[in-house]
Every structure is written in C-alpha cells, then in structure tokens.
Amino acid sequence: QVQLQQWGAGLLKPGETLSLTCAVYGGSVRGHFWSWIRQPPGKGLEWIGELNDSGRSSYNPSLKSRVTLSVDTSKNQVSLTLSGVTAADTGVFYCARGQAAAATGHWGQGTLVIVSS
C-alpha cells in the first residue's frame, strides 16, 4: 500500500521560500507522475504542477515563475519549493501520485502553511 508522508515549515513570512518534501513508502517514485496541489482555507483545490523521474514537468501558468519541483530517486522523495510567498499562498499543500492519464490516486496527509508577518 503506497503511503505519502510530507513535511515542511508551516509558518513563513512574506517573501520567504516555502519548501516541502514528500516521502514515498510502499512504492517507488520511478515510473509515476507526482503532483502538488494546494487548498486555501475554505476554498477549492488548486493544481500547482507535476513531474516524473525523467524530468518531464508541467506547471500552473499562474505559479510557474515561482515553483520548482524535484524528484530524488535515491531517497524516494519528491519536493516543492515556492519562492516569494505572500498571504495568498496560505493553505494546505498536498503531494499526490498520478493515476491513469490525468488523475491523482494517492495523496499525502497535507501540510498547512501559513504566511504571516
């Protein structure tokens, strides 16, 4: 059973860089797309981007300039960095594994990130 365990700093100041890591247990990072998705408080889901272990990636156009996604096959982990955060970036961030052509079947537990001065 694949499990995703994520962690990272939960409180940031405006202008800082958000950094989250997602460890994959019970499966390999190889051969799958890995997505990051966020959810502002009380709102819907927003797709941030995805990539696979071959380096093929895709990003939400509205976030592309601030987002870096990476896969570490040696540690079986995927990571997200989001630079220049503002209060509008506050929310729960999820890592997730791709399923079928464009769905996500396994999700991490979510990490609440608050941006406040």
Phi–psi pair at 98, nearest 5 degrees: -65, 150
Distances (CA, A) of 117 to 11, 13, 16, 26, 112: 10, 5, 11, 39, 16
Three-state DSSP class for residue 65: helix
Nearer residue to other proteins within complex by CB, 31 or 105: 105
Tell the smallest beta-carbon distance from residue 64 to other proteins (Å).
9
Nearer residue to other proteins within complex by CB, 44 or 74: 44
What is the bridge-based pairing of β-strands 18-25 and 11-12?
unpaired
Tell the smallest beta-carbon distance from residue 103 to other proteins (Å).
4
Nearer residue to other proteins within complex by CB, 18 or 36: 36
Tell the smallest beta-carbon distance from residue 67 to other proteins (Å).
12
Taking a C-beta distance cutoff of 8 angstroms, is the pair 36, 45 a contact?
A: no
Nearer residue to other proteins within complex by CB, 16 or 46: 46
Q: Which residues bind other proteins (CB under 8 A)?
A: 35, 37, 43-47, 50, 58-62, 94, 99-105, 107-110
